[in-house]
Structure 1
């Protein structure tokens, strides 16, 4: 890792790609075909087309390109509805308003007049006889109607009639087909909250199911199919409900390895990081990011930000930083192990694999091999006696079980991950690996990715969770804590049991996360939780430690807690605790507040 002048790297934006020359996934061709389908089917309106794909797979890019193409076609109007800003009835009013906003004002004015003359407008909507001459009064009448819709079901039906009457002017009296089409784009429907998503679906089906209107929904249908609906008990019934709303869906395909590699090279060129990405690294990023464009861009942006914000990396070398960022993003639990341990942790992880292979092969590999010797040395350091020649199968299996039970949980999960091992080997020989690990321990990376994967669906909320986090070395916990607080949790941190006891009475936590070892005391966390239990804390607890063994699991269980070395498991556990919090978000007061008072 030599210091070189890397020049200025550049951040990538996360905007949908509208310029076809910047399209790295070939979406423009698909957009053209979908535009032809919609345009050729406008006589069949109303209908709904869903662009189905997981988070970050390019739905918005495809929809933007589709919108641009359709906007250039005759007799087509396009409009975007931001589902993120809608909630409750405002989803319905917002949708109706964006559609009416695309109609000719004279047409809407005449529709208003017909409703008034036929006494279909309620008394809440006051529209004067001179409305024909005043657009201002028309706007005011529309606003009155929207406001009334939130409390009056009849006003909603009036709005539907207004829309139907306005669209009647578009229908050819001879053929009965609409002469114009409004294409409404609704993106991120699966991420705007369950109530809003249902409201938008109901609005589309009950109020906007009219000739001349087509909808394009950007969503992950697998997420929508899990939304609980009143009166619907099974997933099959939810899918049947969605089929009544969505007439056709286009699923974003899984990009080929060649396409993903080309995309990564394109992003690297734009961020000026291309000289750092070897072909093996490109392949690794493509596989571990599952070809997700957004994840690739976040990874490269984290590298660029770290390099520009921390001048020490300019002396250390951009290559070492890039591999550190890859480790942090792709294998966060192993990255955290490195931060919270000493010595050549990465090398020990490699030795663990060698040891397992040797044990699984029952010593058939040559003990003269340097890697096998490293594995045997690791076994010895963990108190596992390497079986000698002629040992029976039971001894080999016992040694393997002991080793697996004493190493980090992250190691066990990643031991067969070829990409992870290749990345660790690429850190260089022992002296270079150790230099990089010590650098990370002194100054951990600051642009941590969220451990909650949004591609798994709607990001969970942690409202009502009051989490007390005890750790004397908090570096490495920031990514999890920031993710929790960004979604509504309250988190207080402290470094020892004394501070935790002080916070217990003031903060009144309903969940607790703690480390285990502190300053050479490998019982500090267990003893600390016992003290908190004695002081009145009766809530759930989780130990978060880089080292998890069967003995530590027994000790955690003895104090009514779980133990893990996985940051992802911490987030899952916190989500479960947040879901269990009553609507008041308050746990009962500690059983013995006087015990706390004595410590003040």
Structure 2
């Protein structure tokens, strides 16, 4: 027999654990540096490459690869770049607008393009510039001619300095570039093909508004010349807001018109299919060597609750890997249980908060007892009374008689739910959640649970991998950081100037606290007490988001019915949150099919969603027909 195995820090490991070294996933675009195409981007890249090559005679034009944060824009660009670079008459340039070291995006982009030309062409441009006395003085001309004897980088720097010295010389920049490209195209390729330069601009939507506008101006004012195609990776919603904010006029129509002048073709990356998303999760689990910790239910949960977003999936897996490597004493509880805790923390932060709250004695046992009683009432079958009877007694409620009627059971259920956390009814209808909690409960006894929850995880709901990182002005808000902090205790909240909210509820007074909070943040809140009032409001205002109760009057599903009407008749297609704490099990699925979030009555959850929608980092789920 072999002796004990120790890691570098002196922890004793069994052979199985010692053999496992979980690996962090980096942010490298999918498939880059490997033969793996986890999202099958090759087919799309092939089609886009064929389109660009076939349209080379109509260049210049700009193609936008449009998708939300983390949905694979860079991956598609890298695949497309490889295909085009393999074409004999095509040259490619890669410019990262976010990480470019140049203080000016205009300077960085134009220099990146100039560096792609051979030295002889740049020398010809230098001679053209030095021959124009109004562009450059004798000393500058001498520096250019001397510089041209050295590396092309120095020549390009000198050329830029000469042309960017003042507004008058910059006006001549496009002419110099047009002459340069005309000469380059006329020379042709060795095979006789017409030359084409494809410029890839990545991470534009991560930039500040001023830098976005600089890049757009470089494309439209200076590089709008024959033989050039631009491919932009961007979330056009974020881009649109950046242009709008930079202009300072707040007029959406002008921002849209501006971008339409820049972008002629827009390809929107669709969400991965269920099969592709499952393939992606499996691939990441294999790469991180964590595949044996995730069963099929957990994998399905990741697919469903990350929005099938590649970067969010990576961050979830990395959360576990980080936690495990930072504290190897998690081996005492088993890495498979740590994975379950991470899933609970990130996908069900409110319930995880109950588990970690020292004031809550037995949230897991309470939930499982409630779930048992809830299922019994729904099925109309009286069974296994001992477990949930104790729950009634613990809450100070008289338990049902031995042979209660269906109506009596429903009454008892309502009484019990009044004493339990608001999340319980919705969670009881969530099969993935119930199975996850049951699995964790089977693995650990009550004493182990108490020990486990004294070890707080390093990542919290604010850093959840199923949501993109909040922008800085939102990240400072306690509303985004903790679903457990009362609204009244928050300070320095995220601002929502000009954000227009329609709140549909036949009892608007019950929403007064949150309405006042939104108003303090700068939002404009309109209330409608019924369907007719909502229709009138839609005619007058373009709303940023709609909040709606599910129950209006005696109809428990009126909110769903009305939203279906708005969608079907094209009245409103924007984000919707259903604000309700009581809902039947099928309501979340029906809401999702209408492209709505919720239902929830957690005010901080509502504010978190509103903040993320306002910042453009969260979009509501599309109805299945549109998503396909």
Q: Same fold (TM over 0.5)?
A: yes
Counterpart contact for 2:95–2:200, Cα < 8 Å: yes
Q: 1:347 aligns with which of 355, 361, 365?
A: 365
Q: 1:224 aligns with which of 239, 263, 270?
A: 239
Counterpart contact for 1:127–1:138, Cα < 8 Å: no
Distance 2:406 2:426 in 1: 27
Matches within 5 A, 1:19-418: 19=33, 21-85=35-99, 90-123=104-137, 126-128=140-142, 131=145, 134-136=148-150, 142-143=156-157, 146=160, 152-172=166-186, 179-227=194-242, 228-229=244-245, 230=247, 233-341=250-358, 342-355=360-373, 364-366=380-382, 368-370=383-385, 374-375=387-388, 377-384=390-397, 403-404=416-417, 406-411=419-424, 414-418=427-431
Deviation at 1:78, TM superposition (A): 1.3
Count of residues paired in the alignment: 488
- Seen in structure 2, the aligned counterparts of structure 1 residues 39 and 344 have a Cα distance that, compared at 3 Å, is same
SS at match of 1:54: coil
> CA offsets per residue over residues 341-385 of structure 1, 9 Å max, x none?
443312323334455566778xx441x334xx5445435534555
SS at match of 2:112: helix
- Unaligned ranges ≥5, structure 2: 1-12, 483-488, 495-519, 522-580, 582-600, 616-628
- Unaligned ranges ≥5, structure 1: 470-478, 482-499, 501-508, 514-538, 541-549, 551-563, 579-600
Q: Is 1:422 aligned to 2:435, yes or no?
A: yes
Moved more, 403-412 or 331-340: 403-412
> CA offsets per residue over residues 486-545 of structure 1, 9 Å max, x none?
xxxxxxxxxxxxxx9xxxxxxxx96499xxxxxxxxxxxxxxxxxxxxxxxxx99xxxxx
> CA offsets per residue over residues 40-97 of structure 1, 9 Å max, x none?
2222111111111111211111111111221121122211112114699711111111
Distance 2:130 2:56 in 1: 31
Instruction: Please provide the CA RMSD for this pair.
Output: 4.4
Deviation at 1:328, TM superposition (A): 1.7
Distance 1:284 1:80 in 2: 36
SS at match of 1:73: coil
Deviation at 1:323, TM superposition (A): 0.8
Q: 1:5 aligns with which of 7, 12, 16?
A: 16
Distance 1:463 1:24 in 2: 33
Deviation at 1:214, TM superposition (A): 1.0
Equivalence for 2:472: 461
Structure with the bigger RCO (C-alpha within 8 Å, sep 6+) is 1
Counterpart contact for 1:24–1:266, Cα < 8 Å: yes
Distance 1:235 1:133 in 2: 47
Distance 2:153 2:102 in 1: 22
Distance 1:420 1:330 in 2: 9
- Seen in structure 2, the aligned counterparts of structure 1 residues 318 and 168 have a Cα distance that, compared at 3 Å, is same
TM-score of the superposed pair, with normalisation by structure 1: 0.69
Counterpart contact for 2:135–2:163, Cα < 8 Å: no
Equivalence for 2:5: none
Distance 1:249 1:87 in 2: 28
Distance 1:26 1:440 in 2: 40
SS at match of 1:79: strand
- Seen in structure 2, the aligned counterparts of structure 1 residues 57 and 434 have a Cα distance that, compared at 3 Å, is farther
Deviation at 1:414, TM superposition (A): 3.8
Distance 2:329 2:404 in 1: 53
